[in-house]
Amino acid sequence: MKDNILDQKWSAGSLLGFAFPTMVMMIFMGLYTIVDTIFVARFVNTDALSAINMVCPMINVTVGLGTMIATGGNAIISREMGAGEYQAAKEDFSLLILTGAVVGFLILLMGIIWKDEIIYGLGASDLLFPYCESYLMTLLLFIPANVLQTLFSNLFVTAGKPGLGFGLSFLAGVANIVLDYVFISMLGLGIRGAALGTGFGYLIPTAAGLVYFSRGKGTLSFTRPRLKWAVIRESCFNGSSEMIGQLASAVTTFLFNKTMMNLLGEDGVAAITIMIYSQFLLNTLYIGYSMGIAPVIGFNYGNRNGVRQKRIFSISMKFIAAASLLVFSISMFGGPCILELFAEDTSRVYEIADNGFRIFSFSFLFCGLNIFISASFTALSNGKVSAVLSFLRTFVLLAGHILLLPRILGINGVWLAVPLAEAMMSVVSMGCLACYRKGKAVLL
């Protein structure tokens, strides 16, 4: 197909323009994710806020599975499109969407069966259990839609429609904000209302994706899938770094919760909840850019265009450096404003979070580079390196620092864990990229 939007000479402006809708989409996803915690903190209480973070690991696993299938499959589909194999791309696309739907329903079923074991296993106290139960059991009903919207959000870009993904995410975000106000503030549904608002937000891009890809138009659409276990295995393996990243988020969130509960009780858990959600919001700029250009990297890998690939990486590294300085500045100087969204500046929760935010902010100087390099290896169909990087970054460095530093430095050790882990990981990431460029110079 000569009109494929991925097949063009990329300038800094055109590449950023292509990635921009996905970047904004991710920022809005971050915003409407964080809205739940703001409404809960303001209209319910900080114990309910702590409960959201307690069950967050369960949601991390769900998002991780969806992202694994989406990013791993994205590399396959864009590679096939780059090689001109459009029918195979449609068949594999349809197979992966079906796989995502099955995964979502299995998670729903297991969550209902083992509800109590999951909540207490995540470390909830008796005080937090009722809040955790209300939030998790409501959100589980929308888990299949969550998996599918994750798939569609990635694959709209591959289909050459990043603007559509942005528009749907914007609409979902607005709906979530409005419904949060209605359910929590007006109807008094508390934390269950927050879960309902989030769940209905999932349904919007899911329904739109099903309708759009059923029309049979464009470079990607639904067709009769062929059951190819090799495609599913490769998708899961190639996207395993993203799964490891989300699974690691689940583990590190659990460790953060446990550590803060031991040090400062429920208020400590509420403070680290604010920090984690703020981090997710600020990281969406890096995540959105990496997702946005992944199909471009995969396409040029498929058609072996080394000149364009080098240009893409040169532009990307400059953008990541500038974005890192921007996000660090926002975090360092705008931290108090962010914290006031969640808690009164006279509260103990605010005091705990404020003391740590300035230390925590230094992580944003390094994490963008780590996110981009890991995502690039996935787009290059090198899931092994990407998975190793994600595993080292989170399970080894971050989890290790969370377990070790608080024993030595107390609460300051909690805040230092992320910056130190990201700084150390940035050295490893650059080393892996340098080694790859020497061995695969034609592509980078």
pLDDT value at residue 441:
42
Q: Are 176 and 128 spatial neighbours (Cβ–Cβ below 8 Å)?
A: no
Cβ neighbours of 214 (radius 10 Å): 10
Give the separation between CA 368 and CA 399, rounded to whole angstroms. 19
What is the 3 state secondary structure string of 51-66?
HHHHHHHHHHHHHHHH
pLDDT at 439 (0 to 100): 59
Provide the pLDDT for residue 418: 92
Higher pLDDT, 174 or 166: 174
Instruction: Report which of 398, 395, 387 is spatially closest to residue 424, judged by C-alpha positions.
Output: 398
The span from the CA of 390 to the CA of 376, in Å, is: 12
From first CA to last CA, the distance across the chain in angstroms is 25
pLDDT of residue 1: 44
Contact 220, 158 (CB under 8 A): yes
| Contact call for residues 93 and 19 (beta carbons, < 8 A) | no
Quickly count: other Cβ atoms within 10 Å of residue 232's Cβ. 18
In the predicted model, is pLDDT for residue 289 greater than 60? yes
pLDDT at residue 65 in the model: 87
- Asked whether 265 and 123 are in contact (CB, 8 A), the reply is no
- Mean pLDDT of the region 98-106: 91
User: Region 1-8: what's the mean pLDDT?
Assistant: 62
- Domain ranges for the chain, please list them: 12-439
In angstroms, the Cα distances linking 78 to 18, 142, 155 are 15, 29, 10
Q: Tell me: pLDDT of 443 over 70.
A: no
Neighbours of 121 (CB within 10 A): 12
Encoded amino acid at 322, one letter? A
Name the one residue in this structure whose structure tokens are 């892996």. Answer: 432
Query: What tokens does 293 get?
Result: 């250009």
Mean pLDDT of the chain: 84
CA angle at 175 for the pair 171 and 180, rounded to the nearest 5°: 150
Pick the closest to residue 254 from 370, 114, 402, 128 (CA basis). 402
CA atoms of 33 and 149, how far apart (whole Å): 14
At residue 167, the pLDDT reads 79
Model confidence at 280: pLDDT above 90: no
Residues 70 and 155: beta-carbon distance below 8 Å? yes
Min mean pLDDT across 31-40, 143-152, 195-204, 357-366 is at 31-40
State both tokens at 216. Answer: 């049979």
* pLDDT (0 to 100) of residue 255: 92
Judge whether residue 332 has pLDDT over 80.
yes
* Dihedral, 11, 13, 14, 17 alpha carbons, nearest 10: 150
- Averaged pLDDT for residues 244-248: 75
Checking if the pLDDT of 3 tops 70, the result is: no
pLDDT, tens only, 388-429: 887 888 888 999 999 999 999 999 999 999 999 999 999 999
Q: Given the structure tokens 């607005």, which residue do they identify?
A: 174
Interval 66-89 mean pLDDT: 80
Cα–Cα distance for residue pair 368/386, rounded to 1 Å: 15
Half-sphere exposure of 103 (CA within 13 A, CB side): 24
CA distance 203 to 67: 17
pLDDT of residue 321: 92
**Where do runs of H (alpha helix) occur along 215-239?**
229-238
- Write the single-letter amino acid at 283: N
| pLDDT the model gives residue 442 | 40
Per-residue DSSP letter, 222: -
217 versus 201: the higher-pLDDT residue is 201
